A and B are shown apart, each in its own frame.
Chain A
Amino acid sequence: MFKNHLKIAFRSLWRNRAFSAINMFGLILGFTVFIFIAEYVAYEWNANRFHQNFNQLSRLSFLYKTGESNYYLPPGLGPTLKSNVPGIKQVVRIGENVGSGVLSINTGASKNVFREERVSFVDGQFLKVFTFPVLQGNGLLNEPQTMALSKTTAIKYFGNVNAVGKVIQVNNQFGNTDYTVTSVYQDMPQNSDIQADVLLSYKTLESAALRNGNDWADPTGLGSEYSYLYILTNENANLSQISAQATNLWHKLKPDSKNDHVGLQPFQNLHIAPGFSYQFQTYGSLLLLIAFLSVAMLIIVIAWVNYINLSTAQALNRAREVGVRKVLGASRGQLTLQYLTETFVLTTISLGVAMLMVLMLQAAYNSFLEKQLSLAVLNAGWFWLGGATLIISGTLLAGGYVSWVLSSFNPLKTIRSKAFLKVGGLSLRRGLVVFQFVTSIIFIIATIVLYEQLQYMQNQDLGMKVEQRLAVTGPSIINSSQRDNSIAFENEVRQLPFVKQLSASNNIPGQGYNFSTAGITKSNANPGDDKKSYAMLIVDDQFFKTYDINIKYGTGFTLPMLAHGWTKTKKVVLNEAAVRQLGYNDNNAIIGQKIKWNNDFEIVGVVKDYHHLGLHEQIKPMIFLPAVADGFFTLKMETANMSTKMEQIRSLYQKNFPGEPFSYSFLDEVYDKQYKTEYQLGKIFIAAAFTAVLIACMGLLGLAMFAARRRIKEIGIRKILGANVFSLVNLISADFLKLVVVALVVASPIAWYIMHRWLEGFAYRITMQWWMFASAGLMALFIAFATVSIQAIKAAVSNPVKSLRSE
């Protein structure tokens, strides 16, 4: 029987191939999008899960009364915790990227030099606690001056993974130190939130000599907070109890920290927050995940709705067959099974084609997401099972409904004439089309609003200029001649004819500040003023000019102020927000006033507020400090003929900073990177809107075909009575356009609410305008009309004699 059903299914699909093709196209599109998104969800879900101790790991943080949190902790807290708080098996500290610098290998004659950014100091048990697979060596970093390399790094340096025992000289902020390789580990997977190419033993920094004067980095210190702390707890350990004990311990160690709380963030929630108001920071974005997931669900539901719509519309053609089969003795169950088989065949083919599409488009999708995804990602956890269940149940539901409609036909009526036939659920199908268009219109509106906001952010006057600014990364090796080299480099670059301005600063707009601190007040401070925080940025005298930041009062920094550094010069420049927060009057009298920050610092200038970081957040109160900086060199220049210009800058760089790799970025790109999530969301919404509209139009097409066929007699009679083509097209189209208008009415408030919530995430944002909704509606209306009118015209120009006779 099943073989028979299968045979008939293939034949009737082939017989109605145009219809089957439209139907399958919708499903293929839906499945393809669904699989792609499932990959992403699976990938995000599986982040960090490869660790065997996944369920027993937690990250420590400081939670402040202000609601802010800090994940950089003093490294000295680690060992103390382990010995004082029961329930903690291991503490692992990570000084993330603290060791970045230049690694060199002596190969006898020559010296191979590599610049490495992802060089972290870690505790000895790091590779064991996090269970990163060790390929060579014992996986331990307990001794000073030991290191571990990732597989890729080892191969880069030595051509193979047999690196254990080799000595590498590491030149970073802690001077020149020789390290011996103890282990080579498998590259950390892309969906690990902990990333490092080179691991250095934390033990090394316990020696003052090997810290090269950077005593802040002392692993036993409680002063500077720069280290991640992860703990491995006993099974069934009570996290809140550990957190409370850790807090007590911290208060004992640092009596002035009474208001701080030590928080424990379970490793499961390190990547994706369990809810929207999660107090801890996460590496992944719950918003993106939810957006992705809802898009996937909606698209696949739209595809099924489409299937129902097209198949029931087509049912009319199958009615006679159903009638005959019933007369021949088919029971309803047998008929249902037969049509379900057809659904099964159609779905299976569509799913197969969708898989092929996924394989073909995977590379493009990956480059869009900047992630390494593949079907293999789904091969973990419950994803195959979940996806398969979803697809099967959806198919059963959609196919079941269609079969039910088909098998309900009264045989007598279907055999006699189609004219008597009423296919049930016309209002249901209208409802489904409305649903499809509601979803499509929401996507269109979301896309419009999102791009308007992006436009707004890009066109917003930042109070400074980022275009045609090139940022050259400064040298990482700090030595005695450093300062002179930097000054020499700056002077030589200034001589280049195409360089209009040059500034050195220790951080750049779009990237961040140097540090944030509280404890700064005006001389006669009000109580509580010392709790307010300020963002600090270390810059030279050319910074404001180079970025076209307007100086409101005073002069800004001068060359002599740089010479001794900000700790000695004791001069600052404020932005307007800082002036307000300090409580000064916004006028020229502020110049020469002193602010208190342990010592007195003289205000030598006030600059107009500018958006140092993106428009998500309010402009922070900023304090600028003068120094001969060398973190970044910003060049204001014409960007034509970049390659030759770049060569010249590179040669000057390498002359002044020998052995240092040259790296640069364009400021507008750096700045734009802050909106990466928004750009990704934008692309998702465009793709979703496009897919949804396309599938919805197919549903509409099916309904229009159906309507045209149903009303063919009416059209014939009207034509004989003298109706022209135009009035007939109107007659048929109007019905459908009404549906789109209804969809717009339903979609608008939903879209408004969703996008309103989204916009609230921006300190600087657009307000939604009526035209955004109107143009989404018009777009949907136009597309719908184009779809329907083809069918309507076809029906309207057909020969009435023919259509009436065939009745």
Chain B
Amino acid sequence: MLSLKQISKYYSSGGAKTYVLNRVDLDVDQGEFVSIMGPSGSGKSTLLNIIGMLDQPSEGYQYFLNEPVHQLKDKQRSALYKQNIGFVFQAYHLIDELTVYENIETPLLYQDVKSAERKALVADILDRFNIVGKKDLFPEQLSGGQQQLVGIARALISKPKLILADEPTGNLNSKQGEEIMELFKKLNKEDGVTVIQVTHSEKNAQYGSRIINLLDGKIDSSIIL
């Protein structure tokens, strides 16, 4: 599904290069559930952002669904991730001014999906996530777990092939966290969505099919569970 070859990310300061990522090779197949772990500053989030095309590597080759991402123009790149990738954030990042329903609907608006179809898609996912009763509430009226649920629903609404989650349970208590992880597992198993998450938690990492450990911008180990 995606392939990173010799990917590096560095910042130059005063002639010296500070590497965040250093010649990373990574292949992820369709249907995998990958957990990226590592201490603070090891480059986890940067790696995730590069995979999500929100950030660009300084060097290396990147392929996504057989497209050479490193050769694409900005527009093509954003079209590619718009279609295929959903993002889930630690701080949920729901839009405060919008209701649950509208938050979930927003990506569809940006893809020019017709009104009737939008309605059907949002109703469907509200139903699946069991949050129909909450659809007219604003984010601040929800608990953290519920907000993250909405965040995931929003990430899934455009039927992405890949979900990128940056510490999705970081702001949740353990019970809420478990529910979210179960949800990811279910999505992975039943719907065949590929999931890549960054996590600090050994326990959450166990939900996946593979754990990649990063250390100082390099892959330290890759363990298939």
Contacts and interface: CB of A to CB of B under 8 A. Distances in A.
Interface in A411-429: 411-412, 415
Nearest to B138: A11
Interface stretch (A49-57, A324-332, A383-391): A324-332
A12 B97 contact: yes
Contacts of A324: 93-95
A321 B110 contact: no
A478 interface: no
Given A15-B97, A321-B95, A327 B54 contact: yes
Interface residues of A, number: 20
A331 B110 contact: yes
Given A412-B54, A412-B55, A328 B97 contact: no
A320 B102 CA distance: 17
Q: Which of A320, A323, A324, A331 has the most CB of B within 10 A?
A: A324
Interface in A392-425: 411-412, 415
B97 A11 contact: yes
A98 interface: no
Interface string A286-330: 000000000000000000000000000000000011011101111
Interface string B54-96: 1100000000000000000000001001100001010001111
Contacts of A329: 78, 81-82, 107, 110-111, 158
Contacts of A12: 97
Nearest to B92: A324
Given A8-B97, A11-B97, A412-B54, A328 B78 contact: no
A411 B54 contact: yes
B97 A327 contact: no
A412 B54 CA distance: 7
Interface string A412-451: 1001000000000000000000000000000000000000
A329 B95 CA distance: 14
A320 B55 contact: no
Scoring B49, B81, B97, B111 by chain A CB atoms within 10 A of each residue's CB, the highest score goes to: B97
B183 interface: no
A320 B54 contact: no
Contacts of A643: none
Given A411-B54, A412-B49, A412-B54, A331 B78 contact: yes
B106 interface: yes
Given A4-B109, A331-B78, A15 B96 contact: yes
Given A8-B98, A12-B97, A328 B54 contact: no
B6 to A, nearest CB: 22
A412 B158 CA distance: 21
A320 B54 CA distance: 15
A1 interface: yes
B185 interface: no
A4 B96 CA distance: 15
Nearest to A334: B110
A12 B93 CA distance: 16
A291 to B, nearest CB: 44
A329 B77 CA distance: 11
B9 interface: no
A592 to B, nearest CB: 95
B96 to A, nearest CB: 7
Contacts of B94: 324
B106 A328 contact: yes
A2 B211 CA distance: 45
A654 B49 CA distance: 99
A755 B45 CA distance: 63
Nearest to B54: A412
A113 B97 CA distance: 74
Given A1-B109, A329-B78, A329-B110, A415 B89 contact: yes
A537 B60 CA distance: 100
A1, A329, A411 — most chain B CB neighbours (10 Å): A329
B154 interface: yes
A330 B110 contact: yes
A334 B102 CA distance: 16
Nearest to B52: A327
A329 B160 CA distance: 12
Contacts of B107: 328-329
A335 to B, nearest CB: 9
A528 B87 CA distance: 97
A740 to B, nearest CB: 36
B109 A320 contact: no
A324 B107 CA distance: 10
Contact of B154 (A4, A8, A328, A334): A328
B81 to A, nearest CB: 8
A327 B87 contact: yes
A415 B93 contact: yes
Interface in B135-187: 154, 158
A793 B29 CA distance: 58
A328 B109 CA distance: 10
Nearest to B105: A4
Nearest to B164: A327
Nearest to B151: A324
Interface in A461-505: none
A15 B102 CA distance: 16
Contacts of B102: 4
Contacts of B110: 325, 328-331, 334
B23 to A, nearest CB: 22
Nearest to A5: B109
A8 B111 CA distance: 18
B111 A325 contact: no
Contacts of B78: 329, 331
A11 B54 CA distance: 28
A15 to B, nearest CB: 6
Interface in A1-51: 1, 4, 8, 11-12, 15
A292 to B, nearest CB: 42
B99 to A, nearest CB: 10
Contacts of A4: 102, 109
A12 B109 CA distance: 18
Closest 4 CB pairs of A and B: A329-B82, A329-B110, A11-B97, A328-B107
30 contacts: A1-B109, A4-B102, A8-B97, A11-B97, A11-B98, A12-B97, A15-B96, A15-B97, A321-B96, A324-B93, A324-B94, A325-B95, A327-B54, A327-B93, A328-B87, A328-B106, A328-B110, A328-B154, A329-B78, A329-B81, A329-B82, A329-B107, A329-B110, A329-B111, A330-B110, A331-B78, A331-B110, A334-B110, A411-B54, A412-B55
Given A8-B97, A8-B98, 19 more contacts: A11-B97, A11-B98, A12-B97, A320-B93, A321-B96, A321-B97, A323-B93, A324-B93, A324-B94, A325-B95, A325-B110, A328-B106, A328-B107, A329-B107, A329-B110, A331-B78, A334-B110, A412-B49, A415-B93
